Amino acid sequence: MKPTPRPDPFSLAFEEAHKAAARGEVPVGAVIMREGIILARAGNQVLADKDPTAHAEMLAIRQACAVLGSERLIGCDLYVTLEPCAMCAAAIAHARLRRLYFSASDPKGGGVEHGARIFAQPTCHHVTEIYGGLRESEAAALLRAFFLERR
Amino acid sequence: MKPTPRPDPFSLAFEEAHKAAARGEVPVGAVIMREGIILARAGNQVLADKDPTAHAEMLAIRQACAVLGSERLIGCDLYVTLEPCAMCAAAIAHARLRRLYFSASDPKGGGVEHGARIFAQPTCHHVTEIYGGLRESEAAALLRAFFLERR
C-alpha cells in the first residue's frame, strides 16, 4: 500500500492566490497546517468582503482558531505566498504560530523583513520562526502579472 | 427645543471597555464615528470569540465597513481606550481612518508610539492623524484594576 502523500501547503496557498486573482483581488493565498493536517486555507478577499482586514493570513488564522476552538495556534505553521504586512505579522504573533513560511518578499508593504519588522520589536511577545523566499519567483510572477493587467 | 447632544464617543468606548472587563477580557473599548454619527462600537472579545484578532479596534473597523458597505472608512475617526497594538494600527491605516484618538499609552504592547510605530514606517501608505493621552488616567486605572485582580 502506498502511503497517503503529505499535502503540499504551498501548492494549496498558490491555488488560493490564483482564485483571489480570478476574483480581482490582490493574489495572495495562505494555508495553516499542524502535524501534516491542513486546518485552514484562504485567499485575500478584501474587496469581496468589503473588509480591509480580510487578508489571506487573517482569514486563515480565524478559520484555524475556529477549527481548534482556541485563540492560540500552538504548534501550527502558516504558509503564505507573500511576505505578510504588519497587521498580519502581528496577528501571527498574537496567534502564537510556530513557523511562518512565505514566498515573495514585499519591500513596499511587508512587515516582517521590511518596515515595522514586527518580530524584531521588543513589543512582540512571541517569536515565530521565519522562512522566506520559498517558491519566490512563482509568487513574484503571479503578482507581476496581476498588477500589469490592472494598469 | 433643546438640541440633541452629540454622542460622546469616549464615554461609549469606556462603556465597551467596562463590559469587556466584566467578561474577563482585557478591558479595551473602541468606537468609530463619522460626522457625529456612531457607526460602530466594540469591546475586546478575544477569549469569547476564541479569535486572537478580535481586538476592540478590529471589530469596530469590520462593523463600520459593514455599515458603510466599503473597505475604506474615509472621513471616519476611531476612539479607543488604549494605544492600539501593531495589528490594529496597521488595520487603521488599511481602513484609511482619518483620525485616531486613544487614551492610555501602552509601552509594552503598543504599535503607534512604541515598538513597530506603524504610522512612521515607509511601508505605511496612509497617515492617520493621531491624538493620544485623552482621559488617560481613567483608562490606566481601569487596566491597572483589571490586572491587579488577575494576579
- Over residues A86-121, the pLDDT tens digits come to 999 999 999 999 999 999 999 999 999 999 999 999
Q: Which of B65, B72, B123, B127 to mutate to test the interface with A (most CBs of A within 10 A)?
A: B123
The answer to which of A12-16, A58-62, A140-144, B71-75 has the lowest mean pLDDT is: A140-144
The number of residues in chain B equals: 151
Is B87 part of the contact surface with chain A (CB cutoff 8 Å)? yes
Which residues of B form the catalytic set?
Answer: 57
Are the CB atoms for A130 and A109 separated by under 8 Å? no
Residue B22 pLDDT > 90: yes
Supply the ipTM of this predicted assembly. Answer: 0.95
Task: Quickly state the pLDDT bin for A47 (edges 50, 70, 90).
Answer: very high
| Contact with chain A for residue B53, Cβ under 8 A | yes
For residue A41, what is the domain's CATH number? Answer: 3.40.140.10
Report in angstroms the alpha-carbon separations of A132 from A1, A89, A101, A140, B11: 35, 13, 6, 13, 44
| Runs of H (alpha helix) within A38-117 | 46-49, 56-68, 86-94
Q: Is A44 among the domain residues?
A: yes
Report, as an integer, the average pLDDT of B92-101: 98
Q: Is A95 within a domain?
A: yes
Q: Is B76 annotated as a binding residue?
A: no
Domain with A84, as residue range(s), is 9-149
Could you tell me if residue B133 is inside a domain?
Answer: yes
Of chain B, the end-to-end C-alpha distance in Å amounts to 51
Identify the pLDDT of residue B68.
98
In tens, the pLDDT along A119-134 reads: 999 999 998 999 999 9
What three-state secondary structure class fits B40? Answer: strand
Q: Is B31 helix (H, G, I), strand (E, B) or coil?
A: strand
Does any domain span residue A1?
no
A115 and B123 within 8 Å at the Cβ level: the answer is yes
Instruction: Identify the active-site residue in A25, A57, A83, A113.
Output: A57
**Domain contains A4:** no
The answer to whether the beta carbons of residues B12 and B29 sit under 8 Å apart is yes
A contacts of B60 (beta carbons < 8 Å): none
Q: Report yes or no on A72 lying in a domain.
A: yes
Q: In whole numbers, what is the pLDDT of chain A averaged over residues?
A: 95
- B103, B82 Cβ separation under 8 angstroms: yes
Residues A31 and A64 sit within 8 Å (Cβ to Cβ): no
Find all residues with CB under 8 Å of B89, minimum gap 6, and list them.
A86, B111, B112, B116, B118, B119
Q: Is residue A2 part of a domain?
A: no
Domain total of chain B: 1
- Does A68 reside within a domain? yes
Q: What is the pLDDT of residue B7?
A: 79
